[in-house]
Amino acid sequence: MRKYFRFLLVVFLMPLFITKVYAAEPTAEDVLASIQDSYYIDATEYEAKTNGIESYLDTLIQADLSANGIDLAAMGYTGFSYVMEDIHTGYYDFFNDDFSEDYEKSFAITYSNTGTGNEEDEAMVQDFMNETGEALEFEEEVDFDEIDTHEYQYFDDTYLEDHVSEAFDGSNIQYYWSAYVGGGSYFSGGLVGEVQLFVDDVWYGTIGLSSRYIVKVYVPYIVEDVDSYVLDLLKAYLTSQGEEVENLVFEEGGVASEDGEYYYGEVRIFYDEGQEIAENVLVDSIYENIVNEPVDEEVQAELEELAKEKGYEETFAVTDVQTDDDISKGLNYTFQVGEEYNGKEVLIISRKDGEEDEFLNPVVENGKVIHTVTDLSLLGVFLPYVEEEQSEDISEEGSEAVAEEAAAPVAVPTTYVPYVYGTDAPVLISDDGEDEKIAPSEEPKNDDKKTEEKEEKPKNKALLIILLVVLIIGVIYFMYMGSRD
């Protein structure tokens, strides 16, 4: 009887043993089937989001997998994640080391207050979204010189929380923001994410989140080719970072390699147009606290006397600039002396308290002199003597008068020597000492002589009449005396 009982026991237990030994290993399909199509979270929508919806889901899904005897790690699936498409929809993703096997299972999510919203609150959130646009955008400029020290400031949680909270200041809308780093480059960085919007713990929508910095490059007003200046500056920076850069170009507000293969980021150019502190004297406008103090007359007279000793008679400017700004990067003076001084040296006298005067002789280019300093001093600028050139601009009427005057013959006073037959040709002896022979058959043309001849003809005629009267009287006298004999 005892043997018979043992036999029956073995018969009944054998199927259980065989099933345990030869049971099939779970597959990916079994994992997917174990995950439900919908999950309920016992918390309000706002509570679940702020506490982490993923943590609620992980508890629920792991319980389902365990109930079905599924161990993902034992199956070779070493990674998994929860991806939320919105607060009510998500999916579970599991995969192996090389992602050759990657599976997803979507599911819906409901909460303890799902469906309890109202139209009034929904309209309020919608209005906010319409006014804000697709995203809350926070953007700040960073000076080029501070790229390395400020690169991560705009990814800081405290920085973002301050900006996001300010956007909802005075609003009844609750919010929860999350972000991730993306879109960074050498010259700009971006942190993007999303903001969930709630009213009374009920979810009503999502907007984007963007926080980034834009590199600002300062260009002094003395720079004429701005593009080349900026590109050379950025190229030098990239080279210092180990980048092999040949040429850069501007492309829609950003900087890219000339071949178009790499985009380095957005750059904004701040061009300093300069500020006038005295007549024809400019300095950088980036320094806002510049004051040009009056110069003592005796001090100016001393500088002018020193300039005269060096051959500079004309005073162009005497300045005494004061400022509280840090000018360690350079303060640029531009003295616009005029094109007539191009290529010539001017004299700059720099005077500081307790130091010897410094004498500089920069050369004028393009009508101006640029003088850069990193500490302040009283400056006197003096000009060399430049001869004034006669203007070549002649009016049309003036040019015609000059032409007519040039074309008119110049009368040269001459003395006429009468020609005697058999002698050499008569000679015109001019006042300038040069003689000119006249051909024998020609009378010298002398309009003055003709005029004199015309004036002498009446005199000669009167003389002839007198001689004729005298002759007649003489004849009568001789006839009368002969009749008496």
pLDDT in tens, 100-145: 999 999 999 999 999 999 999 999 999 999 998 888 988 888 888 8
What beta strand segments (E) does 202-312 contain?
202-219, 248-251, 254-257, 263-271, 275-278, 281-283, 291-292
The answer, yes or no, to whether residue 346 has pLDDT greater than 60, is yes
The answer, yes or no, to whether residue 262 has pLDDT greater than 50, is yes
Whole-number Å distance between alpha carbons of 297 and 350: 16
State if pTM tops 0.85: no
The answer, yes or no, to whether residue 435 has pLDDT greater than 50, is no
Eight-class DSSP state of 453: H
Instruction: Return the half-sphere exposure (C-beta side, CA atoms, 13 A cut-off) of residue 189.
Output: 14
Whole-number Å distance between alpha carbons of 479 and 471: 12
Whole-number Å distance between alpha carbons of 171 and 453: 121
Name the average pLDDT for the chain.
82
- Report the alpha-carbon angle 249-253-257, nearest 5: 25
The answer, yes or no, to whether residue 444 has pLDDT greater than 70, is no
Give 399 or 284, the one with higher predicted confidence: 284
Question: Measuring CA to CA, which residue among 435, 417, 415 is closest to residue 426?
Answer: 417
Residue 225, H or E segment: none
The mean pLDDT value for 25-51 works out to: 95
Q: Dmax over Cα atoms in the chain, in whole Å?
A: 240
pLDDT given for residue 368 in this prediction: 96
Q: How far is CA 396 from CA 389, 391, 392, 399, 407, in A?
A: 20, 14, 12, 5, 17
Instruction: Look up tokens 């834009």; give the residue.
Output: 214
Residue extents of the structural domains in the chain? 23-111, 117-271, 275-383, 410-442
Give the end-to-end CA distance of the chain in Å, rounded to a whole number: 240
φ, ψ of residue 200 to 5 degrees: the values are: 50, 45
pLDDT given for residue 372 in this prediction: 95
The percent of residues above 70 in pLDDT, for the chain, comes to 76
The mean pLDDT value for 30-38 works out to: 95
The answer, yes or no, to whether residue 85 has pLDDT greater than 90, is no
